[in-house]
Amino acid sequence: MGECSLRRRRRPAASAWVGAGVMGPNPRLSHIAQHVRAYDNDRYLCALFAPADRREHLFALYAFNLEVAKTRETVSESMIGEIRLQWWREAVAGIYAGTPRRHEVVEALAAAVRAHDLTRELLDALIDGRAFDLEDRPPGDMPELLSYAAATSCGLNRLALEVLGVRTDEAVEAADAVGMAWALAGLLRAMPFHARAKRLYLPADLVASTGLDLRDYFELRPTEALARAAEMLASRAHEKLAEARALRRRVPRPALPTLLPAILADRWLARLARADHNPFDPALAAGGADRVLRVGLAALRRRY
């Protein structure tokens, strides 16, 4: 392929990225897209590099994920949270029975299910994975944490691949690895929020082995023990990113929008390392001016 041809292929992705309102308001966005843009901007940004006729269905998936993921933050009692999750289980059942509930996100998700024959078990598993949030306890060990990360992230990536028309084993394996890395980086990034809410996602055995004092943690006091624990989680995330990238040459190009979060996870982990693995460093809360540029360049180069 010649240089001129390559340039012509690059322009649509870049124009989609600017034209869909990443860097400013865009009244042409659907309400679902605006919701994802506001509350899950990282996935919104990556979805912009999907074909135009698939983006709205990706936004529907991500809006559904936002609804179930925020359950713990929107209820005062675990029983109420269980009722909310059950509502979503029944909503998914209604979609597959052909009787979707009158709810903006449910109706958008139903359209995505019809268009791409999405796997119901993956949607159900995303709901079930959020039941752990209602237990208000830390994972007992690293395997339990990794199981939670898989339940809340990997299935979503698999569904996104289905929207993109990609179902190869290599793509699924890469998407799972990126999902795990993204979930672990996300837990580290959310640590100040969780600490203020007196919630802990660090495994109990890791807390014990590092000697982390939970009084320091809940008061957002950085300590060497916290830095060691954060570094260990970051190391696991890096391992998963390496696993995903080892498959790059065998992953179909249409899968790229599902895998681009690897760029953002890598970027945030690097910032955490520069902060001496202190997840409470206020500088980490800033979005960073290079975020959009990094994802855009990676998409143009077809890398993740």
> Of the candidates 274, 257, 84, which has an alpha carbon nearest to the alpha carbon of residue 171?
257
Angstrom distance (rounded) from CA 45 to CA 245: 20
- pLDDT at site 22: 54
Angstrom distance (rounded) from CA 260 to CA 255: 9
What's the mean per-residue pLDDT of the chain? 92
CA 194 to chain centre: 17
Residue with tokens 């202190």: 278
- pLDDT at site 125: 97
Average of per-residue pLDDT across 90-113: 98
Digit-coded pLDDT (tens) for 77-93: 999 999 999 999 999 99
Q: Residue 296 pLDDT > 70, yes or no?
A: yes
Q: Residue 6 pLDDT > 70, yes or no?
A: no
Q: Residue 5 pLDDT > 60, yes or no?
A: no
**What is the tally of structural domains in the chain?**
1
pLDDT band at 289 (very low <50, low <70, confident <90, very high): confident
Angstrom distance (rounded) from CA 91 to CA 63: 14
Domain that holds residue 81: 3-300
* b/e burial code for range 125-139 (CB count within 10 A of at least 16 → b): bbbebbbbbbeeebb
Which residues, other chains included, contact 29 with Cβ-Cβ below 8 Å and sequence gap of 6+?
Answer: 20, 21, 37
In the three-class reduction of DSSP (H, G, I as helix; E, B as strand; rest coil), residue 128 is classed as helix
pLDDT band at 229 (very low <50, low <70, confident <90, very high): very high
Digit-coded pLDDT (tens) for 106-136: 999 999 999 999 999 999 999 999 999 999 9
pLDDT band at 300 (very low <50, low <70, confident <90, very high): very high
Digit-coded pLDDT (tens) for 168-227: 999 999 999 999 999 999 999 999 999 999 999 999 999 999 999 999 999 999 999 999
End-to-end CA distance of the chain: 22
SS3 for 40-84 is: CHHHHHHHCCCCHHHHHHHHHHHHHHHHHHCHHHHCCCHHHHHHH
- pLDDT at site 40: 97
- pLDDT at site 252: 97
Digit-coded pLDDT (tens) for 19-30: 445 545 566 899
Average of per-residue pLDDT across 36-51: 97
pLDDT band at 245 (very low <50, low <70, confident <90, very high): very high
* CATH at residue 178: 1.10.600.10
